[in-house]
Amino acid sequence: MAALTPRKICTLVTQALDDGKAEDIKSVDVRKLTSIADYMVIATGRSSRQVKGLADRVLEAARALHLKPLGVEGEQTAEWVLIDFGDVIVHVMQPEPRQFYQLEKLWEAPKRARAAAAVSTTPSAH
């Protein structure tokens, strides 16, 4: 069996979420921003039941490939379930906490700031 790279894990997770009808699935490459993970996957479920179902779907897809999470948090209330696969961290959230915490903006903001800094420091041709 081929090694499960972080990119393949990310693809596996996003496919499982898509199959479960998750909404607004985002995969954020955070390799240049932090050493805690390579990718953050963020998705919305419409209710606690769907959030729990989506998390279960991700865990089941991972289990089929003998991939065990380092940890799972939030399953009891299922308002926000976090699944930590080490290089890939999955956040399945109900709409309210997702809107409130805006995780993708948190992780994408440093990318935009770096890109803007690179543009402003690039010598202009005269």
Mean pLDDT of 75-85: 96
Q: 15-51, pLDDT tens digit by residue? A: 999 999 999 999 999 998 899 999 999 999 999 999 9
Tell me which architecture the domain covering 6-119 has in CATH: 2-Layer Sandwich (3.30)
Tokens, residue 12: 């596996």
Kindly report the number of other CB atoms within 10 A of residue 52's CB atom. 18
* 123 pLDDT above the threshold of 60: no
Residue 4 has pLDDT above 70, yes or no: yes
All structural domains of the chain with their residue ranges: 6-119
pLDDT digits (tens, 9 = 90+) for 92-105: 999 999 999 999 88
Q: What is the mean pLDDT of residues 59-71?
A: 97
pLDDT averaged over every residue in the chain: 89
Distances (CA, A) of 120 to 67, 115, 117, 123, 126: 43, 9, 5, 8, 15
What's phi and psi for 88, nearest 5 deg?
-130, 125
pTM tops 0.95, yes or no: no
